[in-house]
């Protein structure tokens, strides 16, 4: 960035999520972190939503893959053009309309990893002064490559936290179902047990 130029405007939630890590290094490692988070989970679990209207883990990973395509195109436009327009997009519409149900989660993760690797290589070869170049985001206004890189690095971490949260919610739901089945089983067993008869005659006590 040129001396005296203002720093990139990055929403605080991304800065906090990144927690001081180098953005490009963090981006490079993100696919492996996500892979580790979902290790051992079945496709059925990955596609299960924790609540109505909430994304499944699979949908979160699809969103990361889609976002990476968007990031790569924005970086390229800004690096090559002077103050190009950067259109926004509806992330929920991407998830709903891009037929991710026809893909396996592992393939979506592979797509994220592949595009991320290409984009990281681009960032590593760009000259330093390119990171101060800006595009005009449709909603946020001026946005530099430096800001975009930091935001997407923090964005990764936020969604990794979301995956952790979903895992916990699904595990809790599973425990609750098991407990309910166990209680229902106990209730059914108790209902079948014969009741002690109250009509038994008292034995006569002989003196």
Does residue 6 register a pLDDT over 70? no
Read off the pTM.
0.84
pLDDT at 176: 87
Q: What is the dihedral of CA 97, 100, 102, 104, to 10 degrees?
A: 180
Question: Which residues are registered as beta bridge partners of 135?
Answer: 143
Specify the CATH number of the domain 12-177.
Answer: 1.20.120.450
> What is the 3-class SS of 132-199, one letter each residue?
HCEEEECCCEEEEHHHHHHHHHHHHHHHHHHHHHHHHHHHHHHHHHHHHHHHHHHHHHHHHCCCCCCC
Mean pLDDT along residues 14-42:
97
What is the CA 108 to chain-centroid distance, rounded?
12
Interval 134-179: pLDDT, tens = 999 998 999 999 999 999 999 999 999 999 999 999 999 889 888 8
pLDDT at 195: 62
Interval 88-131: pLDDT, tens = 999 999 999 999 999 999 999 999 999 999 999 999 999 999 99
In the chain, the percentage of residues whose pLDDT exceeds 90 is: 76
Cβ-Cβ contacts under 8 Å for 186 (sequence gap 6 or more): none
85 three-state secondary structure: strand
As given in the structure block, the two tokens for residue 36 are 């580790």
Interval 172-192: pLDDT, tens = 988 988 888 777 777 767 777
Q: Where are the domains of the chain?
A: 12-177
């Amino acid at each position: 960035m040129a001396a005296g130029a203002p720093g990139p405007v990055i929403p605080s939630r991304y800065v906090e999520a990144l927690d001081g890590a180098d953005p490009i290094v963090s981006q490079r490692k993100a696919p492996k972190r996500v892979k580790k988070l979902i290790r051992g989970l079945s496709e059925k679990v990955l596609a299960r939503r924790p609540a109505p209207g909430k994304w499944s883990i699979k949908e979160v990973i699809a969103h990361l893959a889609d976002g990476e395509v968007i990031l790569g195109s924005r970086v390229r436009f800004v690096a090559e053009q002077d103050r190009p327009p950067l259109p926004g997009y509806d992330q929920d519409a991407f998830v709903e309309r891009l037929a991710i149900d026809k893909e396996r989660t592992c393939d979506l993760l592979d797509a994220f990893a592949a595009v991320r690797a290409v984009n990281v290589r681009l960032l590593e070869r760009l000259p330093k002064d390119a990171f101060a170049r800006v595009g005009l985001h449709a909603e946020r206004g001026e946005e530099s490559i430096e800001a975009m890189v930091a935001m997407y690095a923090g964005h990764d971490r936020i969604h990794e936290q979301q995956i952790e949260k979903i895992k916990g919610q699904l595990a809790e739901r599973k425990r609750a179902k098991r407990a309910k089945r166990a209680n229902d089983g106990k209730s059914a067993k108790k209902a079948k047990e014969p009741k002690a008869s109250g009509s038994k005659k008292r034995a006569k006590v002989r003196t």
